[in-house]
Structure 1
């Protein structure tokens, strides 16, 4: 049986353009205060987590009003007590957000393509994405205040 990627959908009262901005230039508002931005395909941005937890660099593969796709091109995911292999498991994975206008707001479908249960980091990363994408991004888009890592 094929392993399933991490995948979630949120619905927000924000507009599609507000959602797109949050997923290209607003990461500091909902993911991590140490975040880069993307203005055009090919841009590379770093996302850090206090140094001690590591960082990821992503390359913008697609930046369209209804789709943001990033590929992890560098990774250092540090977790004490886990094998060294966990550090680079995100390399080559893709974070893909599909953004669709709905009645009264926007639906955002997120797939972390390559983040599957067979990875050492899956449980940690699933909990992280649930906290940052499902909770923090949702809060940021609906209220203007997210819960990013600081």
Structure 2
């Protein structure tokens, strides 16, 4: 992981096991068209954000109560010059539970300020993790918003 990779964190009164279960229920907090499964290693799923856009994921790591890693195996981001900008990047969810409070450190490995989508993707991830996922952890409901593009 590089120092420039996008990251953000949150803490919530939830067990790490429950947090992993909720992260794996992608449409409940990301608010996207979802097909497939994100519940165990080697699961594959696809996210669509409208039009011709898509993102294919594989769950490459799942350590119960500790970590989830999703590899983006292919994508089409038609609104950018490099339509494959997210391909071969990873979404990493590291969890640490202490006294009933779970801290989540989220990293999009490969999403750095040098890539074209950073100006849109960084505020997008900040919303999806710090607002929507946190809300899903604490209230059972994600907070959806229109895509940035």
**Does TM-score exceed 0.5, indicating one fold?**
yes
Once residues 33 and 102 of structure 1 are traced to their aligned partners in structure 2, the CA distance between those partners, rounded to angstroms, is: 31
Moved over 3 A (4+): none
Contact residue 26 and residue 38 of structure 2 kept, 8 A:
no
Matches within 5 A, 1:24-43: 24=24, 26-36=25-35, 37-43=37-43
When the two structures are superposed, what TM-score results if normalisation uses the length of structure 1?
0.87
User: Are 1:72 and 2:72 an aligned pair?
Assistant: yes
Q: Does the residue aligned with 1:88 lie in a helix, a strand or coil? A: coil
Aligned to 2:23: 23
Aligned to 2:130: 134
RMSD: 1.7
Aligned to 2:5: 5
Aligned to 2:102: 106
When the two structures are superposed, what TM-score results if normalisation uses the length of structure 2?
0.88
May I ask how many residue pairs the two structures share in their alignment?
A: 143
Once residues 56 and 125 of structure 1 are traced to their aligned partners in structure 2, the CA distance between those partners, rounded to angstroms, is: 14
Contact residue 29 and residue 136 of structure 2 kept, 8 A:
yes
Unaligned 5+ runs, structure 2: none
Unaligned 5+ runs, structure 1: none
Q: C-alpha displacement at 1:33, in angstroms?
A: 3.7
